Structure 1
Amino acid sequence: MSVASELFESYEHDFNQISQSISAKITSTIPSQSGEKRKVTVRATEREIDEADEIIGQMEMEVLNLQPSTRTRLQAKMRNYKSTLEKLKRDLKKASANDSGPTDRDELLAGASATDLDSASLDQRARLLNGTERLADSSRRLQESHRIALETETIGANLMEADSYIDKAQRTLKGMTRRMQTNRMLTASIILVLVALILFVIYVKLFW
């Protein structure tokens, strides 16, 4: 499984959990509260909706890095997630507009429920940060691999250039060796001719 696919599944899991948390606040917690507590819960729910928007944005980025066949399937999922989030936004708007308040007993029960949901929200934030860190780590690994590939290519080019210089040096040495052999043969020929001339001169002087 690719890194992009693993990250998409992680974001998908985070979105499902945070959407459940938002839905619970809208259907149970907010209707049971009033006054300042209600406002605090509404603001907390709005923050979770913003986080869900960010998760969808991250999911869309990861889908672009997948194979076309997988991308088509996941894009259909993305449309459903966006539709779910839009419905949650509308439901929150309706719930926050309702001013009917609960009894003191209901407020106490809702306070305990809100504490549990806030803990879930913190867990969602931690998961989102963890996914972002994994994405950043994957990017750093890709950059490091690219850097190593460039260095390897540079070293290869330098080795090829060094091999070229070695070949040139070998050809030069071979040429020099051939010239030295030719010069030795030429020198030997000249010496033989000179010896022959000297012998001829001595013969002429002695016998003529």
Structure 2
Amino acid sequence: MATLIQSYEQQYSVLTADITAKIGRLKSGSDDDRDKLSREIQSNFEEANDLLEQLELEYRGSGAGSRVAAYRAELQRVREEYRSVFNNSATYNIDPDEYEDWSTVNEQRRKLLDNTERLERTGKNLTEGYRVVLETEQIGAAVLQDLHSQRETIQRSRGRLRETDATLSRSGRVAQSMLARALQTRLVLGAVLVLLALLAALGLYLYVT
């Protein structure tokens, strides 16, 4: 996990360095070079966002402290630098003989910026949606764990109830056996008393006669 995080961080560092170098070339490039560099930089920004999303997932999986927020702030700073350079280069590289095309250039630049902002918002929405999905998955796992724990508790309670029922059944049988023995003892004692009374009466009769 740590090796994969380090790999993503190295890729991000190389990518941001490449973006910074291209921004430097953008300041002095021709119109054709500027358009090509701009497309490459936009592609690099998208790739950097993807890397940061993967890096954030790896950080969450490892439970380690995340540096993604700092990386995003750095990427935003580079993005602002790119916008500033792009706007300035678009302004200062206009041919005075073609000043009448300024409105078209400005419109294209505005559309490019709008598309860039739209892509950023889409990326943020996707990241937020992914975060919600992960949190929902974590909550679902916690609920399932809780249900599993409750199931085990119920099963243990049922086992104890069965053991208690068996103990009560044994106690009932023992009590019934003791009651039967007590009744038997009383019957035997009653029979002995009757026999003793008969013997006493017989002895008295023989004594009198």
TM-score (norm 2): 0.56
Q: What is the one-letter code of the residue matched to 1:51?
A: F
| Equivalent residue, structure 2, for 1:176 | 171
Note if contact 2:31-2:93 (Cα within 8 Å) is conserved in structure 1: yes
Q: Distance in 1 between the 2:38 and 2:117 partners?
A: 11
Highest CA radius of gyration, 1 or 2?
A: 2
Q: CA deviation at 1:51?
A: 2.6
Q: CA deviation at 1:110?
A: 1.7
| Equivalent residue, structure 2, for 1:160 | 155
Instruction: Could you list the structure 1 runs, at least 4 aligned residues long, displaced by more than 2 angstroms after superposition.
Output: 41-51, 54-61, 99-109
Q: Distance in 2 between the 1:47 and 1:134 partners?
A: 26
| Equivalent residue, structure 1, for 2:31 | 31
Q: CA deviation at 1:166?
A: 0.6
| Aligned residue among 195, 198, 203 for 2:190 | 195
Q: What is the one-letter code of the residue matched to 1:160?
A: Q
| Aligned residue among 144, 148, 169 for 1:149 | 144
| Aligned residue among 135, 138, 155 for 1:140 | 135
| Equivalent residue, structure 1, for 2:48 | 54
Note if contact 1:32-1:106 (Cα within 8 Å) is conserved in structure 2: no
Unaligned 5+ residue runs, structure 1? 1-25, 62-95
Q: Distance in 1 between the 2:54 and 2:114 partners?
A: 27
| Equivalent residue, structure 1, for 2:95 | 102
Q: What is the one-letter code of the residue matched to 1:129?
A: K
Q: What is the one-letter code of the residue matched to 2:43?
A: I
Q: Distance in 2 between the 1:100 and 1:205 partners?
A: 145
Q: Distance in 1 between the 2:138 and 2:54 partners?
A: 22
| Aligned residue among 102, 106, 113 for 1:118 | 113
Q: Deviations over 1:135-166 (max 9, x none)?
A: 11110111111011001001100100110111
Note if contact 1:32-1:102 (Cα within 8 Å) is conserved in structure 2: no
SS at 1:51's partner residue?
Answer: helix
Q: Deviations over 1:119-148 (max 9, x none)?
A: 111111111111111111110111111011
Give the number of the structure with larger relative contact order, counting CA–CA contacts within 8 Å between residues 6 or more apart: 1
Q: Deviations over 1:49-74 (max 9, x none)?
A: 3431135437979xxxxxxxxxxxxx
| Equivalent residue, structure 1, for 2:207 | none
Tell me the matched-pair count.
139
Q: What is the one-letter code of the residue matched to 1:191?
A: R
Percent sequence identity over aligned pairs = 12
Q: Distance in 1 between the 2:146 and 2:196 partners?
A: 75
